[in-house]
Structure 1
């Protein structure tokens, strides 16, 4: 999940000032092969299993590695795995790791690390829990081999092991993977193409990832998250900026090389610069905005109160208020699984007709008694603008709203509590929201996941979807699951859109992806 900005907390804590060229070192002082990047937000949670935050996933794909990975066509390809076989009855899967893989502390990657990592990861992920439920055993077979035995056929084995959705099944050293699932790992040791430098981490200012000299890339060409990850720079520095406009200024001044999200009102200025390119993606690489609701505390523990919100969100108004140009947004989209996507459907959406007057009447018929809606807002972000549009409508319908502004890291901490919050606005990569198996707020139904929404019928239908053998059956199930999701209201969508990234033309080899990827990139 994403937010766009970081507050001033970290910058003030490090004594950084916002004088001209003073946010970061001037260009002439930079290492020749260091990329200076401004991503969607600061990385505040480093344990890749502990959050679904997109920024942690971005960090994870650079520092850790996966057994399988998705290519640009959505196909799952081997990554750390060299080969695998499956028995005729589809119950026994054997895998062999590529030889020569190492962790950043110099120890070899073994099957023991894989088994420990998957055992820690599976309980924390919706798809992982499905795999755990279907499996009978997961054991090592020598140093580089491991075997997965199923109790019943599970068609999605490779899709689960190679899924790009957070939390991603990254492989950790066994000693770290043995950390209890409710505790964060105390060291950041992966086997990915970059290694984390803790001594150069300045929270609120900069994080440095250094090229891992012993990384063994695959021989295939790079293809989204799959293929050969060849690092062509010495390091990447993840810079923290107080807002997007400051980042865009730094990009034009050649103080940074890449900005993941640029302000929409800066697009014309950036387009006029011959030294800047914009990267704008559509379709599955767009984003879905959601208002996530907390079902564990009043007033949204009441389903009737939750459903009132469907009549208070007009996606076109929200996206227009944010300032998203028409060419970067989709029309009103009623589908939990994205529009212009394989499983797009309108099932259940008839209750989502915008009408403040009808919402006011519906709310009056509920047991709502004026309890404050504690609305967490990410200060300065586009999601805050989306929140302001909804809040205005909520107040007009009769809700009492307590607006609480904070940075995204604080939202992540607050949402982990069962009380003290009612809702927040957020947006997510479309790749994460395409099916009932991956959609953050549907896939986590009846799981221990912030928001704690539950309708026992949804997990049962989701399991049926995972085991479905035909596209026709999957389409039927996605429609049925969406009908139930509209009733349950785990979240309310506020729009589908894209945010262009911007980068200096001196960068060569940057892949076109909604995930920021910096292997195979170099400076001309």
Structure 2
């Protein structure tokens, strides 16, 4: 998705399901009706610059807007921007905003808001920090124009400003941005929906309403780009105590959309004439990982981390979760996912499930039985993955403390440098298919949960950015993966997809693992 990487459609070709562009007219329509959706989890953090959590990103795309956005072909297209120019030497980029952009409180979106938002976002994002390193000055020229003056060319400018990987460079009013690392307390964006704070009920529901001030682009909506014409009055995000409750609510018509269906309900749901299933392939699949904490505890020891490669049985994990064969890749040892342009086996000889070998390798380390604190998300597929790993770790000689909690608590706990050893998680393929956006590689040597660091990877990431073509980038990606297999920032537990389900009364729902509701009609 970066530089000359193949498009989303190219990535999904070759037997996979391509995501078609949505060819809908953006003519004015009367917005009517309410859609009730159950997303992957409850929205706990509402500041999208403050976390890489996918649920916060999903919230962010409804409420905020971006300067550029990715379409279903992988191309980066203008969103809030009307146009831009680049100097012949590549050192001066000038952007001009579209007319009529306004925040939810009625204030116009200005170039100063964009500059302030980008400065805040960039300091918290791995690609943003690369941009800052190349930046000499970023300034507002007038109400609608702002300029980047660079120290050196930065060819990935548009890919970075339009990246869909969390944290996303969403634009916010300068006046709501707190100093330092504080989180925003007012949720005011310029996106297609407004956040109704007075109707937010923690543990129950969040209400978003159609933004009457939103001026969509003229183009048809296409993945995250194009004209976001809201055709409903209200979007209600419901919180369910568990997956079966959500499925029963979908069958009963109490909710309209469920982002992740449990695998053991797919058969009955597929036979229900009032429910539609959304199967996804390619980069809309997910990569499961166990993120290790390098800052403290047993995994601060590189030798102990290396043992983990012998303890993850991808087939065993996905069998335990119950993922059908058609929704998974049987075994994938590529950090950049399988069936993608950067797929590689470089360094993967270390990833061989071997309980006896793990036991012998652990005995040769300095590990003395210290507890491995494993954070698990209650009633999730990642909890199942974690429990399978925990049993294997115990057989190898680890002392494992399995602590079960909700995802919001995991987010809070993982932000600390101590008090945990690992947690299971899975992320969209869009977020993992390149060294520049893979959460546990791109955030090398940064204040990111787990705090893994290898100077070689930092240098190689810079080399990847400067690589002249796709073949050269592929070679650098192989070298990065070899270093990652030695560092062990995370250990992959599988590549799979999770079908979404929705009521047949919904129309024009874009097939994507990103939940998007601005084009939906009831």
Asked whether the two chains share a fold, i.e. TM above 0.5, the reply is yes
User: 1:197-216 alignment to 2 at 5 Å?
Assistant: 197-216=196-215
Q: Quote the offset at 1:473 in angstroms.
A: 1.1
The question of whether the paired residues in 2 share the 8 Å contact of 1:291 and 1:424 is answered with yes
Q: What is the 5 A alignment of 1:151-300?
A: 151-177=151-177, 179-300=178-299
TM-score by length of 1: 0.93
Contact kept? 1:62, 1:194, Cα under 8 Å? yes
Deviation of the 1:133 alpha carbon: 0.3
CA contact under 8 A between 2:196 and 2:208: conserved in structure 1?
yes
Alpha-carbon offset, residue 181 of structure 1: 3.9
The list of structure 1 runs, each at least 4 consecutive aligned residues, that deviate by more than 6 angstroms after superposition, is none
Q: How many residues align?
A: 492
Deviation for aligned residue 1:141: 1.3
Match of 2:339 in 1: 340
Taking the aligned partners of 1:176 and 1:75, their CA distance within structure 2 comes to 31
Question: What's 2:43 paired with?
Answer: 43
**What is the alpha-carbon root mean square deviation over aligned residues?**
0.8
SS for the counterpart of 1:502 is strand
Contact kept, 8 Å, 2:297 with 2:420, in 1: the verdict is no
Deviation at 1:32, TM superposition (A): 6.3
Structure 1 position 372 matched with structure 2 position 365:
no
Residue 436 of structure 2 aligns to a residue in which SS?
coil
Question: Could you tell me how far apart the structure 1 residues matched to 2:126 and 2:396 are?
Answer: 35
Match of residue 25 from structure 1: none
Residues in 2 aligned to 1:94 and 1:356: alpha-carbon distance in whole angstroms: 57
In the alignment, is the contact (CA less than 8 A) between 1:308 and 1:362 conserved in 2?
A: yes
- Map Cα deviations across residues 203-253 of structure 1 (whole Å, 9 max, x no partner): 000000000000000000000000000000001000000011110100000
Say if 2:32 and 2:231, in contact at 8 Å, map to a contact too.
no
1:120 and 1:180 in contact (8 A); partners too: no
**2:128 alignment partner in structure 1:** 128
Equivalent position of 2:319 in the other structure = 320
Q: Secondary structure at the match of 2:128?
A: helix
Supply the distance in 2 between the matched residues of 1:219 and 1:307 (Cα, whole angstroms). 52
1:141 aligns with 2:163: no
In 2, Cα distance between equivalents of 1:164 and 1:438: 10
2:22 aligns to what? none
Which residue in 2 is equivalent to 1:398? 397
* Structure 2 runs not aligned, ≥5 long: 1-30
Are the equivalent residues in 1 in contact too, given 2:140–2:146 (CA < 8 A)?
yes
In the alignment, structure 1 residue 459 sits paired with structure 2 residue 458: yes
Deviations 1:128-147 (A, max 9, x none): 00000011110111110001
TM-score of the two chains, using structure 2 as the length reference: 0.94
Partner of 1:354: 353
Question: Which position in structure 1 is the counterpart of 2:469?
Answer: 470
- Equivalent residues of 1:245, 1:262 under 8 A apart: no
SS of the equivalent of 2:446 reads coil
User: In the alignment, what sits opposite 2:33?
Assistant: 33
Q: Does 1:504 align with 2:503?
A: yes
Q: Give CA-to-partner distance per residue, 1:315-365, whole Å, 9 cap, x none.
A: 111101100000000120000001001111000000111100000000000
1:128 aligns to what SS in structure 2?
helix
1:466 Cα deviation from its structure 2 partner = 1.3
